[in-house]
Chain A
Amino acid sequence: MVISTLDFISIVAIAIALASLVIVFAYTHRMWKYISMLLDELSIAMLVRKKSRKVKRYILVKFICKDKTDLKSFVKSLENMFTKLLGELDKIDCGITVASISTDSSRAIIRVVGDYRCLKRVLITLSIQHILFEGCIVVPIRTSGLMSRLRKML
């Protein structure tokens, strides 16, 4: 009985396949361990990355004041108000700064740099501050990620 080359090749192929299966079964446990370790590391890396991600948002606000109130001094007192309502730590964490102010149209742009919760906190603080303190009413008009877009409305 003569074995043709084609048969020979197929036998070798089967042998290799069996050998690889044996190797796989023998090392599955160890490989799974490696893979799970890699996955763990990846997920930790993703978590860490998500935590440190900072978003920069701009809020366009309108001030409604009584005639005698000075707008600039009120904007300065806003900082105090943020400390009182958000707390010192959160205020630093959210990085709140007044980016631009226009006394003619009594509008201003407030920059918030922080994680996604910061924007909500700052917006709600601005909304309820006139109920707690005397002074102007702050009406947030719109938020954007680009300052140039809000500058047109200033």
Chain B
Amino acid sequence: MGSRSKANMFVLFSSCNDVKNYVYSDSDAGLIGLESSFLDKCMDVIASVNENVVFVPRNLKSVERKSIPHESSTKRKTLTSYIPLDTQSARILAKLRKPVVVLVSPNTLRYVDEAQVNFMRQSHERKFLEIALGQFIKFLTDSKKGYVYVEKVFRGLGDVIEHALKYDIGIVASGAVDYYPKTLFTSHIDIVFFSLGFSKRERRMILEVYPVELLKMLHGD
């Protein structure tokens, strides 16, 4: 309890003080992803947080067929997740010769499926999948398409995670549904994976082991 070892890779905040509230109320979160522009804006408040928490600047970027990600030359290292908008870009991302984080959400699940995981496995560089679990929960709560469709999406998600775990592709999870109070805490993420049927060891890998590996990779260790 309160060990601060789990990671929530993306949380959306509307005001700076919410960051403090979140850090104090989620006593398991040790690694929190924030939007990079928000992080710049609220640097003072975030610096005054007394807990042992690592804040990671995050960025989301949509990728289409012709906009293949090139080396970006930013001052600070920002962890960018790529959102593929078609199968071809998903395949290019999976085969790219640099470490890449690909976002898995209800919209991109169509493109990032088990076949793409197979490509990632063959790639020479380490690849990571980011499960936007908040988006999946949002999809579950305001879906009007009926239970069969929702079940299909969650089954697809389970298949992708299982396949990736089997071949040791990194998986991280993020819980942003909407601005702060409407977000999944780390224990909620744990419970959602528990109900999807993942064992204690697999959940630990997703919440504790892979995020640290991803950070190490970002800083070039």
Partners in one complex: yes
Establish whether residues B191 and A131, one from each chain, have CB atoms under 8 Å apart when the complex forms: no
Known contacts A120-B194, A124-B192, A141-B1: A131-B137 contact under CB 8 Å = yes
Chain A residues engaging chain B, CB cutoff 8 angstroms: 64, 120, 123-124, 126-128, 130-132, 137, 139-142, 153
Residues of B within 8 A of A139 (CB): 25-26, 185, 187-188
Which 6 A-B pairs rank lowest in CB-CB distance, beginning with the nearest? A127-B188, A64-B25, A120-B195, A127-B191, A123-B191, A124-B195
Interface residues on B, range: 10 to 19
Known: A124-B192, A140-B187. 5 other contacts (CB 8 A): A120-B195, A127-B192, A131-B177, A137-B25, A137-B185
Per a CB cutoff under 8 Å, which of A126, A131, A141 touches B141?
A131
In the bound complex, how far is the Cα of B25 from the Cα of A142, in angstroms?
16
In the bound complex, how far is the Cα of B184 from the Cα of A130, in angstroms?
9
- Nearest-neighbour CB distance to chain A for B145, whole angstroms, equals 17
- Report if B110 contacts A (CB, 8 A): no
Chain A residue nearest to B183 in the complex (CB): A131
In the bound complex, how far is the Cα of B194 from the Cα of A142, in angstroms?
13
List 10 A–B pairs whose Cβ atoms lie within 8 Å, in order of A's numbering.
Answer: A127-B184, A127-B192, A131-B138, A131-B182, A137-B181, A137-B185, A139-B25, A139-B185, A140-B191, A141-B187
- Nearest-neighbour CB distance to chain B for A123, whole angstroms, equals 5
In the bound complex, how far is the Cα of B195 from the Cα of A124, in angstroms?
7
- Nearest-neighbour CB distance to chain A for B157, whole angstroms, equals 14
Chain A residue nearest to B186 in the complex (CB): A139
